[in-house]
Chain A
Amino acid sequence: MTHGRRAWIAAAPWLLVAGAALATPTLRLLPSPVSTVIYPEQEIRVRFDHAGHLVGRDLACPDCHDLARTSRSPADNLIPREAVCARCHAADTRDEGRGPADAEARCESCHPDQTERVERTLIPSAFLRFGHADHDEEGCERCHTRIAVRGLATADDLPGMRLCLGCHDGRRADRRCVTCHISDPDGRLRTTLGRERLQPPGWMRGAEHSPTWVTDHERTAVAERRLCQSCHREHDCLACHDGNVRPRDVHPGDWISAHPLEARAGELSCRGCHRGQSFCRTCHLRAGVALGSPPGRRDTTAPVVHEDPDWADPVAPRHAIQARRALQTCVSCHAGRDCVSCHAVVSPHPPGFADDRCESLVRAGSRACTACHDSVEGLCE
């Protein structure tokens, strides 16, 4: 036997276990196909075989769930009571020891491992606006798609939003969120449901609020304005964007030390929330790191920010490289006039500037040109 074949044989049991685990719904190694926020966790303590009843005994859903057709609320209890089961299963509730020979009549046939006391099955109400009565014409299996091949039905057999949107497409049925979801007085969806927070699913047009959402939401906010407005209004953005309290999900601990490197590297898009000249420079002026800071703030004995002797070298100035690399970091401390003092005589323009951008700047009436040039007449020639 080759070495490779032995390795496969050795690995096979582990692969089988892994495959079985992934395929076993009870182990929950895969995400639930439906929202656990909309359908809170259930505690089902009965044994039941839907397939055996629907196919094996040729029953129909309403034969047992007789209240469903008139139900108009998800809070209605549609689980058949014992009397419904007793139509076919004469349960022996008096004495298990003297029970009939038919095993189906024993309590444990439906209530496994509950010999002392039958435990209550808990199926919390879904956080939805829904009425079975309004969907009666659709047929049960339109929404409970796999029920005919299932044993015990769980929350996994309840319809997910994608299935609902198959009919609620704006033509056959209303597709507005509030048609099915619970809303607040202002028309927005209620997002705190029990102890959970309702959030968009992963397949919904990039709106999943994943761990990186706090830094990645810009595109979705622009492209999915209507979707976002199901839960948010424009002014809600200010809860974070108004700058009252530093959002720690964006800026972790010791941010004061770390932020110069982060800003220079462009790791975060600082401009998404801050303007270099008004936000950064205002703080840098007070802190003493900007050129215009009050003298009392600036410690002349400490190393200066630009201690490189070649920083302003007239032939090969090091600062030019850094400025070209990340001009935004320069403007977080320097005002335009700091640069004008030298650049009035040393051109800061990139190669080809006269051909590419000079004309459009002059045409726009740019104030920038006259900061160094006396007149814009013939400037681009």
Chain B
Amino acid sequence: MSILISLLGAVPAHALDVLVSSTTSTQVYDVRTGRIDLFLHRRRVTERLTLRLDRVLPDEDEPGYEGPRMSFVFALRLDTDFGDSSREISPSSDLWYIPGFDPYAVDLVTAELAVRDLFRGTTDVRAGRLVTFDPTGFSALDGLELRVRILRWAEVWAAAGVEVVSGERLSSGGFEVDGVVRVRRDGLDPEEHREVEEPPTRVVVAAGASLIRLDWMTLDLAYRQGIVPGDESRTSYQRLAGDFTFTAGPVDGGAAAGGDIALGLVDEVSAEVGVRPIRWMRLSLGGRYDAPVFDTDSIFVAFWSEPAVEGELDVELRPLDRLVFGATGYVRDVSVFADDSGDPSSLGYGGAIYTRLRYRWLMGEVRARLGEGFGGQRVGVVWRIVASIPRAHLGLDFRGTLLGLREDIPPHGNRVSFGYVVGARYQMSPEAAVVFELEHNGSHDLGHQLRFLALLDLGFWL
């Protein structure tokens, strides 16, 4: 950070764009479920505060500037839950106490210093708390990433650092350690509360290569290894994955595959090919093989689990400029034997049809879908109407849901539920907007559930 501050002090003020933005939301809602007689009141406040600096270097705002570009992004997230937290955090509340429950969690989401297009546009460097994605997945790490473009049409990259794990900073940590939940560990004895065990520090090294600048194809290869250092150093995972896409006239498609070298397991293979027989129609056919995979720290890695195999057919039509029709259908199979004792079939199928129409300040969307198999049936229609009224700085949003669920696994049950969301967004000024939403869901057995959301969006260029 001190490096950044010194850099900022060394550059003219006019070459720096500073954006401070925040999204603050408060939600009040009920959670009910029929599986157990559960009713929870939730009162949450979440906040994401972001500072972004662009054009940090001198001359970046000059017309025709082609030198390196420096930027910095810093984001914090606050997630509080005032619902039943008073008794959930009190050890004296034997019936309700949740060890380690943190009702006021503040996370550092990202703190990234990036310099792009170094050395005549060939090199990008990012350092700090980074969000990364590549064919091996989506994750976050505290470290460094370097990307170098070579031979005009290729890019190689490498990254190293300490993984951000245990759900503390991102809800979407694709490489989190299984068996560790998001908790506050202060003052808790791990022997007594094994569920709050500290996740091991995991060092990650990753590298990859990509073909770039080819209009007709892309190819990405990535390798990522997670290592738990120490006296008994171990490899948590050792993933190798690739992704390929191509375009050849009206035909396009792609394929991806990934696996874990440490486990000797290929867990993901997929392919898709699409064709546009006419300009306003696209047909695509795809297939996927997907096996559950866990890292080697988890005992589930040694469990017997079957892969799913799926085929999918999609068609999308755009007969008008602003009108889309689409349909999709799939068949999915998990090769578990179906015995004679009434277990649900291993075969699942389903599909959806949808349409979207935009006309001037109105947008309407309808989606109907069916899913059958894997212990139940889901039938539903979702529709949405959005109206944007620029002169009034107002946006209106109405969503509706009609859902039919059939549960084949004990405890059996059928449910028909309806729901709607009524929302409005008012742009008070270019820098500030407020959103209000009311969601109402209801069904015969669960009664009514309400959610109220208020959201304030702020953004200031300083």
Contacts and interface: CB of A to CB of B under 8 A. Distances in A.
Interface string B415-442: 1011111000000000000000001010
A210 B439 contact: no
A253 B292 contact: no
Given A31-B280, A261-B405, A321-B336, A186 B328 contact: no
Interface in B218-268: 218, 220, 232-236, 238, 243-245, 247, 252, 254, 256, 262-265
A372 interface: yes
B73 A368 contact: no
Contacts of B296: 361, 364-368
Nearest to A369: B302
A294 B97 contact: yes
A4 interface: no
B443 A254 contact: yes
Contacts of B37: 299, 301-302
Nearest to B265: A357
B287 interface: no
Contacts of B101: 286
A73 interface: no
Given A254-B403, A367-B297, A267 B371 contact: yes
A360 to B, nearest CB: 5
B198 interface: no
B176 A195 contact: no
Contacts of A261: 371, 374-378, 405, 407
B243 A211 contact: no
A324 B276 CA distance: 39
B210 interface: yes
Given A272-B138, A294-B97, A321-B336, A266 B181 contact: no
A335 B179 CA distance: 5
A57 interface: no
B376 A265 contact: yes
Interface residues of B, number: 162
A36 B449 CA distance: 42
Nearest to B397: A248
Contacts of B459: none
A224 B213 CA distance: 10
Interface string B271-315: 000001001101000000010101011111111111010000010
A210 B36 CA distance: 39
A327 B292 contact: yes
B320 interface: yes
A237 B405 contact: no
A222 B218 CA distance: 10
Range of interface residues on A (Cβ < 8 Å): 35 or more
Contacts of B411: 303, 307
Contact of A364 (B235, B407, B453): B235
A159 interface: no
A247 to B, nearest CB: 12
A185 interface: yes
Contacts of B343: 318, 321
B218 A224 contact: yes
B350 interface: yes
B98 interface: yes
A257 interface: yes
A282 B181 CA distance: 6
A340 interface: yes
A356 interface: yes
A361 B33 contact: no
B385 interface: no
Nearest to A287: B38
A212 B245 CA distance: 19
Given A261-B375, A294-B95, A303-B35, A326 B297 contact: no
Contacts of B354: 211-212
A170 B304 contact: no
B40 interface: yes
A265 B174 contact: no
B109 interface: yes
Residue among B54, B69, B388 with max Cβ neighbours from chain A (10 Å): B54
B160 interface: no
Interface in A246-263: 248, 252-254, 256-258, 260-262
B194 interface: yes
B38 to A, nearest CB: 6
B348 interface: yes
Interface string B317-343: 011110010101000101011010101
A28 B235 CA distance: 60
Nearest to A278: B167
Interface string A258-302: 101110111100011111111101100111110010111111011
A303 B36 contact: yes
Given A245-B453, A296-B96, A325-B334, A364 B375 contact: no
A242 B171 contact: yes
Nearest to B303: A348
B43 interface: no
B305 A324 contact: yes
Given A211-B326, A243-B172, A298 B181 contact: no
B174 A295 contact: no
Contact of A273 (B171, B300, B303, B356): B171
Contact of B173 (A202, A278, A350): A278
A336 B220 contact: no
Contact of B172 (A28, A275, A296, A330): A275
Contacts of B95: 294-296
Interface stretch (B4-12, B23-31, B184-192): B23-31
A238 interface: yes
B290 to A, nearest CB: 8
Contacts of B264: 356-357, 360
Contacts of A226: 212-213
Interface string A338-381: 01100100001111010011001101111111011000000000
Contacts of A274: 171-172
Nearest to B246: A205
B59 interface: no
A331 B326 contact: no
B400 interface: yes
A30 B55 CA distance: 42
Contact of B300 (A256, A287, A336): A336
Contact of A256 (B31, B54, B177, B232): B31
A101 interface: no
19 contacts: A195-B390, A203-B276, A211-B365, A222-B243, A241-B171, A245-B25, A253-B441, A264-B376, A278-B176, A285-B98, A321-B337, A324-B334, A331-B178, A339-B299, A357-B302, A364-B234, A366-B297, A368-B297, A369-B302
Given A211-B354, A261-B376, 14 more contacts: A195-B388, A223-B245, A243-B171, A253-B419, A253-B439, A261-B374, A262-B378, A265-B332, A278-B181, A308-B410, A321-B337, A339-B300, A363-B262, A365-B232
